[in-house]
Amino acid sequence: MANLNGTTSDLRAKFLAVYDVLKSELLNDPAFEWTEGSRQWVERMLDYNVPGGKLNRGLSVIDSYMLLKGKDLTEDEVFLASSLGWCIEWLQAYFLVTDDIMDNSQTRRGQPCWYRVPKVGMIAVNDGILLRNHIPRILKNHFREKPYYVDLLDLFNEVEFQTASGQMIDLITTIEGEKDLSKYSLPLHRRIVQYKTAYYSFYLPVACALLMAGENLDNHVNVKDVLIDMGIYFQVQDDYLDCFGEPEKIGKIGTDIEDFKCSWLVVKALELCNEDQKKILFEHYGKENPSDVAKIKALYHEINLQGAFEEYESKSYEKLTTSIQAHPNKGLQAVLKSFLGKIYKRQK
Ligand code: GPP
Ligand code: MG
Ligand code: MG
Ligand code: MG
């Protein structure tokens, strides 16, 4: 039976079962002399940070691989596609654990950010490094003999580099003493979110499925382009939800206004504001004080940013649908459509 995500509940259960297998292999990694304490630490850290999200990225690898093959997968193929899916969830856990420190965030997935858990603190930095190191270990355990092994390693390395570069430009626009709203623009926003979000969240799952299907990634540049555009739309939604989403639903409390982020909302606000409203923006954006944040939020309501977002959302949907329909390969069309269906008008 297909659930709202278009993934069968059976497949979701199989995917979750693979997490236990991978975790157990990592907790018995022969390259380290485990003790009771170290094993307990890593197990708790993994359970806290890896499986608790929407799992969209991970499940998409299985979905996409199935649509590319055009027939049911063998048990072995489901296991392998799930393992790659989990590698992306591990990558995501590594990014989120460290991003929450950099963004000074409070909560994630409805619980305190890992670094805010008592006795964790800055050990979370090393946990992030461990999460990142688990990925090539999982790949080595299950893909070493595959003809596409080198391409997989290269793919994860490229995408991690792109994400860290995007994160770098996300962060350096907020440097204390250099805060300047007039440098914020739609092209700068696009550059940040393309790199920090789109490659790892949208291109990576499909690229993993393409490699499993024996494809050469160089032949799929147009699929990549559509996925990048979808990823940009996804991060605009994330920026919108940071301010207008319900923390109970999105599982996190927004920090973009306090952090002086180059969010889609502030870029759009700069476009819509009159001179007086711009003064409010320049005076109160990027301050910790709740009364400054409240002034920015009131201004966002006054200029109907929600309406501007809804317009952006339907225009993006139309554009993406048109690009998907222009794609010659039916299997890939189905992959892209399934992705778009999962995120259109998301509330979390
Ligand atoms: C999302 O930004 C981007 C990431 C989580 C990538 C982080 C990359 C690193 C190399 C650490 P965000 O801060 O808007 O996400 P969220 O709203 O979930 O905190
Ligand atoms: Mg961030
Ligand atoms: Mg963040
Ligand atoms: Mg965000």
Closest CA to 245 of 344, 347, 106: 347
End-to-end CA, the chain: 23
Contact 124, 115 (CB under 8 A): yes
Please state whether beta strands 107-108 and 111-112 pair in parallel, antiparallel, or not at all (unpaired).
Answer: antiparallel
Kindly provide the ipTM of the predicted complex, given to two decimals.
0.98
Q: Is 173 in the pocket of ligand 1 (CB under 6 A)?
A: no
In 222-242, which positions are buried (b, 16+ CB within 10 angstroms) versus exposed (e)?
ebbebbbbbbbbbbbbbbbbb
Closest CA to 156 of 141, 189, 134: 134
Q: Report the distance separating Cα 70 and Cα 67, nearest Å.
A: 5
Residue 33 CA to ligand 3 centre (angstroms): 34
Residue 21 CA to ligand 1 centre (angstroms): 28
Ligand with an atom nearest the CA of residue 128:
1
Residue 334 CA to ligand 2 centre (angstroms): 31
pLDDT band at 161 (very low <50, low <70, confident <90, very high): very high
Contact 235, 252 (CB under 8 A): no
Q: Is 163 in the pocket of ligand 1 (CB under 6 A)?
A: yes
Whether 214 has a pLDDT exceeding 90, the answer reads yes
Let me know if 198 is exposed, middle or buried by CB neighbors in 10 A (0-12, 13-18, 19+): buried
Task: Taking residues 106-129, report their average pLDDT.
Answer: 98
pLDDT band at 6 (very low <50, low <70, confident <90, very high): very low
For a mutational test of ligand 1's pocket, the pick from 107, 114, 162, 196, i.e. the residue with the most ligand atoms closer than 8 A to its C-beta, is: 196
